[in-house]
C-alpha cells in the first residue's frame, strides 16, 4: 500500500473517530468525509506545487515532496535534466553549424516566405553590400537593387544562377557576384552567393592571351607566306632572293622567340618554386647578362650603348640559376632594345635594409608614363606596339621576370620618368641572399 493511500486512510479514520466520539452515526460519516476532504486539499496542493515546478522546467529547483509525489518529482527532475542536456547539445551543434557557415567562402542568406532576410553570413553581406545584423527583417529586393535580380525574383524560376554587381574597390570596378535561390520548407528560400570576379578576370585574360598569341604569330606567318608566294611565282635576281630569305629568317626567328617565351612561361607556372638548396654567385650571374647585353648592343645599336656595373655588392643568391639568368637577361635586353644608341645602361646588385638584395638595371631611354607602370608585367602589354615590333620584343619578357621574382619570394619594381629613363628592379628577400666575403 502506497504512502498516499495510508495518508487517506489515516485521515478518514481520524475523522470517523472524531464523529464516533459525538455518539452519532451521521457524525461518524461526516468525520470520515471531512478527513477525506482534508487529505484531498493537501494532496491537491502538492500536485499544484509539482505542476508549477514542471511548468518552469528548472531541474535544480525541484520541490521537496515525499511519498508518491516525491518519487514523481524525482523522475520528472531526471527527465528535465536529460532534456536540458539534449537541448544544450542541440544548441552547441547549431552554433558549430552556424560558425561553419560563417567561415564559408560562399555567401548564405535565409529568406522567409515573404522574401525578408532571416539570417545571413558575413560573406553574403560583403558580397551584396548590406549589414547582417541591422538589415535582418528587410526585404531582400530592397537590399539588392540590381534589375537582373528583381527580374529573377519576379520570374520565380530559380533553376539557374545570375550575376549582379557587388561593391568593389572603386565604383568604376564593381565586383561580380553570382547568386542562385533554392526554395525549401514552407515557401522559404536559401540564397547562395559567390564572388566570381577573379574567375571572370581569368577568363578575360585567357581570351586576351589567345587573341594576342594568335595575332603575334599571324603577323610573321603572313610575311613568310607572302615571300614564299613571291619566290614561287616570280623569277628573282640573286640579290633579291638573298634579301627575301633574310627577311623570312628574321620572321621565323621572331616566331621561334615567341614560342620559346611561351614555353618558359608555361614551365614557370607549372613547376614548383625552386628550393633554397642551390646558391649561385651574384657576380657570375651579372657577368653573364652583361656579356649578352654587350653582344646585343654591338649587333643592333649604332653607336653601341655604354654598359657598366654600378653599386656592386658581393653576394650569393639562392634559387634556380637558369630562371634568374632569364629574368636578368630580359631586363638587360629590354634596356638595350629601348634605349637609343649611345645611351648609358648601368646594372648591378645592391643590398637592402631588410637583409635582402635587388638586381637593378638603369637606362637613359625615353622613359615610361606613370599610367603604364602597373600593367608592364602583363602578358603582351606594350606601351608602344610599333616600337616593340621594331625592336623584336614578344611582350612576354616582363611577365617572365615577374614570375621568376615571385617564385623566389620577391617582386618586381619599376621607376620611370618620361624623357629621363627607367630603372627596373628585382627584389629578393633575405632568405634568398647570403653575403659573400671578398678575398
Same domain, residue pair 291 and 260: no
Q: 189 and 251, same structural domain? A: no
The Cα 337–Cα 347 span in angstroms is 15
Task: Judge if 284 and 349 occupy the same domain.
Answer: yes
Q: CA-CA distance, 223 to 364, in Å (whole number)?
A: 33
For 52-71, give the DSSP string: HHHHHT-GGG-----HHHHH
Positions in the chain short of pLDDT 50: 1, 388
Q: pLDDT for 91-101, tens place per residue?
A: 778 787 778 88
Same domain, 263 and 384: no
pLDDT at residue 273 in the model: 81
* Domain harbouring 254, CATH code: 1.10.287.130
Residue 129 · residue 109 · CB < 8 Å = no
Shared domain check, 303 and 215: no
Question: Are 324 and 386 in a shared domain?
Answer: yes
Question: Is the distance from CB of 124 to CB of 107 less than 8 angstroms?
Answer: yes
How is residue 199 written as a grid cell? 574567375
72, 96, 120: which is the final residue of a domain? 96
Instruction: Indicate the number of domains in the chain.
Output: 4
Please check whether residues 262 and 285 belong to one and the same domain.
no
| Residue 115, domain CATH | 3.30.450.20
Give the per-residue pLDDT at 1. 41
Same domain assignment for residues 420 and 285: yes
Burial class of 422 by CB neighbour count within 10 A (0 to 12, 13 to 18, 19+): buried
Distance CA 144, CA 74 (A): 55
Q: CB within 8 A of 305, min separation 6: which ones?
A: 293, 297, 335, 336, 339, 341, 342, 343, 344, 345
Whole-angstrom distance between the N-terminal and C-terminal Cα of the chain? 109
Are 148 and 239 contained in the same domain? no
- pLDDT at position 28, please? 64
pLDDT at 421: 92
- Three-state secondary-structure class, residue 401: helix
Q: Are residues 287 and 379 in the same domain?
A: yes
Structural domain span for residue 50: 3-96
96, 119, 140: which is the final residue of a domain? Answer: 96
- State whether residue 438 is helix, strand or coil: coil
Q: Take residue 156 and report the three cell numbers written for it.
A: 520565380
Domain end (from 195, 211, 243)? 195
CATH number of the domain within which 348 lies? 3.30.565.10
pLDDT of residue 302: 83
Same domain, residue pair 263 and 308: no
- pTM of the complete model beyond 0.75: no
At residue 134, what are phi and psi to the nearest 5 degrees?
-65, -35
Name 48's Cβ contacts closer than 8 Å, sequence gap at least 6.
none
Q: What pLDDT, in 10s, does the model give residues 167-202?
A: 876 666 788 999 999 999 888 999 999 999 888 877
Say what angle helices 282-300 and 321-338 make with each other, to 10 degrees.
30
Whether residue 387 sits in one domain with residue 287? yes
Amino acid at each position: 500500500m502506497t504512502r498516499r493511500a495510508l495518508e487517506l486512510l489515516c485521515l478518514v479514520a481520524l475523522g470517523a473517530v472524531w464523529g464516533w466520539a459525538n455518539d452519532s452515526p451521521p457524525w461518524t460519516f461526516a468525520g470520515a468525509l471531512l478527513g477525506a476532504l482534508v487529505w484531498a486539499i493537501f494532496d491537491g496542493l502538492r500536485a499544484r506545487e509539482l505542476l508549477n515546478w514542471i511548468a518552469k522546467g528548472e531541474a535544480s529547483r525541484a520541490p521537496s515532496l515525499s511519498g508518491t509525489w516525491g518519487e514523481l518529482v524525482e523522475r520528472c527532475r531526471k527527465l528535465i535534466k536529460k532534456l536540458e542536456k539534449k537541448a544544450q547539445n542541440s544548441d552547441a551543434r547549431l552554433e558549430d553549424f552556424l560558425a561553419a557557415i560563417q567561415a564559408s567562402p560562399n555567401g548564405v542568406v535565409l529568406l522567409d516566405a515573404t522574401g525578408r532576410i532571416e539570417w545571413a553570413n558575413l560573406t553574403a553581406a560583403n558580397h551584396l553590400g548590406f549589414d547582417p545584423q541591422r538589415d535582418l527583417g528587410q526585404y531582400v529586393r530592397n537590399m539588392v537593387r540590381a534589375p537582373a535580380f528583381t527580374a529573377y525574383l519576379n520570374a520565380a524560376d530559380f533553376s539557374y544562377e545570375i550575376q549582379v554587381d557587388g561593391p568593389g574597390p572603386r565604383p568604376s570596378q564593381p565586383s561580380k557576384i553570382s547568386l542562385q535561390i533554392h526554395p525549401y520548407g514552407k515557401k522559404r528560400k536559401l540564397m547562395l552567393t559567390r564572388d566570381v570576379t577573379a574567375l571572370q578576370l581569368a577568363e578575360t585574360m585567357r581570351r586576351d592571351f589567345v587573341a594576342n598569341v594568335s595575332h603575334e604569330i599571324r603577323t610573321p606567318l603572313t610575311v613568310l607566306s607572302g615571300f614564299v608566294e613571291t619566290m614561287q611565282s616570280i623569277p628573282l635576281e640573286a640579290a633579291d632572293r638573298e634579301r627575301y630569305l633574310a627577311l623570312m629568317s628574321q620572321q621565323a626567328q621572331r616566331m621561334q622567340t615567341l614560342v620559346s617565351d611561351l614555353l618558359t612561361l608555361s614551365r614557370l607556372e607549372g613547376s614548383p618554386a625552386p628550393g633554397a638548396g642551390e646558391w649561385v654567385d651574384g657576380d657570375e650571374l651579372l657577368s653573364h647578362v652583361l656579356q649578352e647585353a654587350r653582344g646585343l648592343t654591338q649587333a643592333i645599336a649604332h653607336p653601341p650603348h655604354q654598359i657598366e656595373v654600378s653599386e656592386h655588392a658581393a653576394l650569393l643568391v639562392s634559387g634556380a640559376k637558369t630562371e634568374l639568368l632569364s629574368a636578368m637577361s630580359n631586363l638587360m635586353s629590354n634596356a638595350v632594345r629601348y634605349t637609343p644608341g649611345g645611351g648609358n645602361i648601368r646594372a648591378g646588385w645592391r643590398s637592402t635594409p631588410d637583409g635582402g638584395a635587388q638586381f637593378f638595371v638603369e637606362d637613359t631611354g625615353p622613359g615610361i608614363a606613370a599610367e603604364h607602370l602597373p600593367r608592364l608585367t602583363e602578358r603582351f602589354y606594350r606601351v608602344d606596339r610599333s616600337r616593340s615590333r621594331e625592336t623584336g620584343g614578344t611582350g612576354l619578357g616582363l611577365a617572365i621576370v615577374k614570375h621568376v621574382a615571385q617564385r623566389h619570394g620577391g617582386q618586381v619594381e619599376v621607376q620611370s620618368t618620361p624623357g629621363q629613363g627607367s630603372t627596373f628592379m628585382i627584389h629578393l628577400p633575405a632568405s634568398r641572399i647570403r653575403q659573400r666575403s671578398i678575398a
